[in-house]
Structure 1
Amino acid sequence: MSTRASPVVAAPPTHYENFPVASWLCPPRLRPPIAAIYAFARTADDIADEGDASAAQRLDDLRAYRSDLAAVAHGTPPSPRWPEVFGPLAHAMHDFALPEQLLADLLSAFMQDIEKTRDRAGYADRTELLDYCCRSADPVGRLLLHLYGVNDERSLRQSDAICSALQLINFWQDLSVDLPRGRYYLPRHDCEAHGLSGSSFETFRPLGSAPAPAPALALVASLARWARSLMEEGAPLVHALPGRAGWELRFVIQGGLRILDKIEALGCDTFASRPTVGKADAPLLAWRALRMRRQSPG
């Protein structure tokens, strides 16, 4: 599914996209809690999205998973179902006082995604979609800021903007994957403003077989600009994070912006193909990361 939590530290390609792992730039003492958070979210993503279980079974399993989270948060033994997740997470929550609610918010987003897909439902407008991002993406950034001891309100807001932007970029990048699977993240209000309805994307053509109509391309272009503005709003956070974390965040931001560049280079037709960032983009990302300077006031 497109529930992809978004990072404040970079990750190599994985099934669970846009999520931090303990890379070489991460301080050694933070690698265990970051790996524990990753395992928690990755396993929840698999429960929500892998295999052939029914929506009802997936929701039941995530409720059980949520109960185990509550157990370890309160220092009591979890069930034996996911020892590889809740053993390390219990240590991380104890040693680093990880906020239970941020982890629970991720599960809330997974459950919402299951329900929306089951009901073939979408999002009314950008406000509703951002509310989803607040639970599907923003908690990851806040958890990492917590580990780095950064908790001022400005940094939290900037982290939320980056993480929401990354989640939105993932949506607009994945239209060719999500729409055929009944996952609708294009806000209805934006669709209607471009003369489109939700059913348009099921009827105007077989996905990938012909160029998308101009209104659909204009819709994606508008949504991509929205994601870019959010990313730019959050970008100054790179100057607030200590040492290597700030450098990792530079690459995360530039990776997201590069995807937007590629969406635009496709004429915004991600109904037909999915743009990605690869090794060939690394020199440009490094150059752009180096050029992220602190802006002068005014």
Structure 2
Amino acid sequence: MTLETAYAACRRIARHYENFPVGLLISPPLRPHIHAIYAFARLADDIADEGYDGSPAGPIPPERTVPGRLAALRHFEEALRNPEDAAEEPVFVALHDTIRRFDLPIQLFLDLLSAFAQDVEKRRYASFAEVSDYCRRSANPIGRLVLLIHGQRREEQLAASDSICTALQVTNFWQDLSVDLLKDRIYLPEDEMAEFGVSEESLFARCAGPAFRRLLAMEVERAFRLFDGGYGLMKTLSSPLRWEIELTWHSGRRILEKIVDLAFDTLHYRPTLGVLDAPTLLAKAFFRIRDGSSAMQPQVLSALRS
């Protein structure tokens, strides 16, 4: 298998990215390597996420059972550790070439697999510390890998990237609450649910009452602060990487703004980015227009105080 064929396969996978553009503004020579990392993460995440849905219609396909998905993720780990065992798998052929060229730490990829394996079996989170640890392994490695490919290795840059990536991950959680409930998966921390008087039963009943809205307002406020905490990263980068991360930063915050506009009811509605969002997001990314901090969001403060 040629490297050209392998990278082309990764590029096709990357085209299906949902919320945030994959490598849209990345320098063309580096774009195939971003696609390779994304394709690895996307396929592994799909293995973790697309298990048996409880439907009684026929036998359960073995690859969709918990043991089947964990076995598939173990294969990913073996292919990651042993390049010769994955010589005919295009994503791994491209990925190993990228790892060699940029001297990328394999631990970042192992962290991703660890998070995906956790997703197969763990469906509840006791505290935000548990959620944060999951984000450390499921989202933060991607940001670090992007920086490393661009030769950005300073610790303060990596820490700022972690803040942005954690913000993106929890934003996705609050965006996808209604979808995750269908999979019997709840990322809202149990201790915070108890603090606000929100029960699992009320979530499954789609009860978006005042208690739930206050809880989600608090989670949204924290996500805004995480985005704000990572914004300094952009000042250390040059274009086009800065544009790419600016666009991602503004895209994530735009989802939060849409959650606010829904009065925090993501039990019934799933906010998404659309064509009409693109011009504003691109303008903000190119001209470095930064919205006010979350403290300037009156709807958030109103919900927290009610």
The residue that corresponds to 1:56 in the other structure is 67
The letter for the 2-side match of 1:250 is E
Distance 1:20 1:138, change over 3 A: farther
Cα RMSD (Å): 2.0
Distance 1:153 1:142, change over 3 A: same
The residue that corresponds to 1:234 in the other structure is 230
SS in 1 for 2:187: coil
Partners of 1:85 and 1:287 lie apart in 2 by 34
SS in 2 for 1:236: helix
The residue that corresponds to 2:256 in the other structure is 260
SS in 2 for 1:268: coil
The residue that corresponds to 1:85 in the other structure is 91
The letter for the 2-side match of 1:218 is R
Partners of 1:18 and 1:140 lie apart in 2 by 15
- Which aligned pairs between 1:196-235 and structure 2 lie closer than 5 A? 196-202=198-204, 205=205, 207=206, 212-235=208-231
1:28 CA displacement: 2.2
SS in 1 for 2:240: helix
Partners of 2:175 and 2:31 lie apart in 1 by 29
SS in 1 for 2:264: coil
Partners of 1:246 and 1:27 lie apart in 2 by 11
The residue that corresponds to 1:3 in the other structure is none
* 1:222-247 CA distance string (max 9 Å, x none): 10000000000001111112210001
The residue that corresponds to 2:56 in the other structure is none
Partners of 2:276 and 2:14 lie apart in 1 by 14
- Unmatched 5+ stretches in structure 2: 1-12, 53-63, 291-306
The question of whether the paired residues in 2 share the 8 Å contact of 1:20 and 1:38 is answered with no
Partners of 2:21 and 2:143 lie apart in 1 by 9
The residue that corresponds to 1:27 in the other structure is 27
The residue that corresponds to 2:138 in the other structure is 136
Partners of 2:38 and 2:121 lie apart in 1 by 23
- Which aligned pairs between 1:94-133 and structure 2 lie closer than 5 A? 94-116=100-122, 121-133=123-135
Distance 1:155 1:292, change over 3 A: farther
The question of whether the paired residues in 1 share the 8 Å contact of 2:140 and 2:166 is answered with yes
1:55 CA displacement: 0.8
1:142 CA displacement: 0.3
Partners of 1:88 and 1:14 lie apart in 2 by 16
Larger helix percent: 2
Partners of 1:16 and 1:64 lie apart in 2 by 24
Partners of 2:21 and 2:274 lie apart in 1 by 17
The residue that corresponds to 1:243 in the other structure is 239
1:45 CA displacement: 1.7
Distance 1:283 1:16, change over 3 A: closer
- Unmatched 5+ stretches in structure 1: 1-11, 294-298
1:69 maps to which of 77, 80, 88: 80
Distance 1:18 1:280, change over 3 A: closer
2:282 maps to which of 269, 283, 286: 286
Counting matched residue pairs gives 266
1:16 CA displacement: 4.8
* 1:33-76 CA distance string (max 9 Å, x none): 1111111112112222236410111001101110110112xxxx
The question of whether the paired residues in 1 share the 8 Å contact of 2:20 and 2:251 is answered with no
1:17 CA displacement: 4.1
Partners of 1:176 and 1:249 lie apart in 2 by 28
Distance 1:110 1:150, change over 3 A: same
The question of whether the paired residues in 1 share the 8 Å contact of 2:178 and 2:270 is answered with yes
The structure whose RCO (Cα within 8 Å, separation 6+) is larger is 1
The question of whether the paired residues in 2 share the 8 Å contact of 1:20 and 1:34 is answered with no
The letter for the 1-side match of 2:164 is I
- Same amino acid, percent of matched pairs: 46
